[in-house]
Amino acid sequence: MPETATHVGSGKVRELYELDDDRLLLVASDRISTFDVVLPTEIPDKGRVLTGLSAFWFARTREIVPNHLLALRADGRSTECRRLEMLPLECVVRGYLTGSGWKDYEATGAVCGHQLAEGLRDSDKLPEPIFTPATKAQEGHDENIDRARAAELVGQERFDEVERVSLELYGFASAYAAERGILLADTKFEFGLDEVGRLVLGDEAFTPDSSRFWPADEYEPGRPQPSFDKQFVRDYCETLGWDKTPPGPDLPDEVVAGSRARYVEAFERLTGLDFDAYLADPDVVLG
Ligand code: Q0Z
């Protein structure tokens, strides 16, 4: 019997299908977005790199918190996952001050209610990682919120649990990545609840689309850092004088190849695995 999968959602670069009442299929495409615009040119295997990295981290963090991963498909880009009741919260952890955290700090001296020392610069390492929740926006950017607002959305007990688990996940993965020359500046989790109300990590985990990966050897606080994966594409787009509104530009072959190489390098450095071994048998990432 051929399987039927009903399309239930689209993200900028991913698709979501329903397999049955209990299971979803998450498919990572090779689309890439830059400056919030999806480009017309794909990066071959980008979706496989992201799916493989997520599965790698899900396998290594399951003792911290259970996750939605049920199986990887042989195509390397599709994940069968448990259907959860998702919490209405983006769970962000920041170890470095950049992006919207840096903007909020510049304006107010605080991020999501965390009052920070004076005189911090863009991309400075924080004295300790902070949990900076946001609300999920249907369109446009997520809105940073303070802990009181987040606790209203999910309840105080659940808030305390997602904060503790998020900080533990970030601590584990950022230490692991730093040993391999990659700084995990910040990361975003989405959690859900299973049928008995247990907290489960859903969506994706520590991919370059949900986290900022910085090459450690180029780290220099006081300026925005080059992104491990996207800087190549951003730099090219900046040469064009493109106004960053849709449609985005086509990418030339050498930019596509350079970008693909960066994704594959991130995969190989973080997992210690050969990317071709992943393509031959995606389950290698599960260890
Ligand atoms: C994830 C998203 C994507 C569009 C819903 N395990 C789960 N259970 C219930 N819902 C979700 C998950 Cl992962 C869920 N999203 C985000 C992903 C395309 C939206 F690939 N939405």
pLDDT 10s digits, 6-44: 999 999 999 999 999 999 999 999 999 999 999 999 999
pTM for the whole thing? 0.98
Q: What is the pLDDT of residue 140?
A: 83
Query: pLDDT by residue (tens digit) across 179-219?
Result: 999 999 999 999 999 999 999 999 999 999 999 999 999 99
Q: What is the pLDDT of residues 46-64, one digit of tens each?
A: 999 999 999 999 999 999 9
Q: Is 13 in the pocket of ligand 1 (CB under 6 A)?
A: no
Residue 177, pLDDT above cutoff 80:
yes
Pocket test for ligand 1, best of 67, 86, 87 (most atoms within 8 A of CB): 86
pLDDT attached to residue 3: 83
Say yes or no to pLDDT of 148 above 90: yes
- Atom index in ligand 1 nearest the CA of residue 84 equals 8
Distance from Cα 17 to the centre of ligand 1, integer Å: 9
For the chain, give the secondary structure using H, E and C. CCCCCEEEEECCCEEEEECCCCEEEEEECCCCEECCEECCCCCCCHHHHHHHHHHHHHHHCCCCCCECEEEECCCCCEEEEECCEECCCEEEEEEECCHHHHHHHHHHCEECCEECCCCCCCCCEEEEEEECCEECCCCCCCEECCHHHHHHHHCHHHHHHHHHHHHHHHHHHHHHHHCCCEEEEEEEECEEECCCCCEEECCCCCCCCCEEEEEHHHCCCCCCCCCCCCHHHHHHHHHCCCCCCCCCCCCCHHHHHHHHHHHHHHHHHHHCCCHHHHHHCHHHHHC
Q: Ligand 1 centre and the CA of 203: distance in Å?
A: 6
Q: Mean pLDDT in the chain?
A: 97
Probe residue for ligand 1, chosen from 203, 204, 207, 209 as the CB with the greatest number of ligand atoms within 8 Å: 203
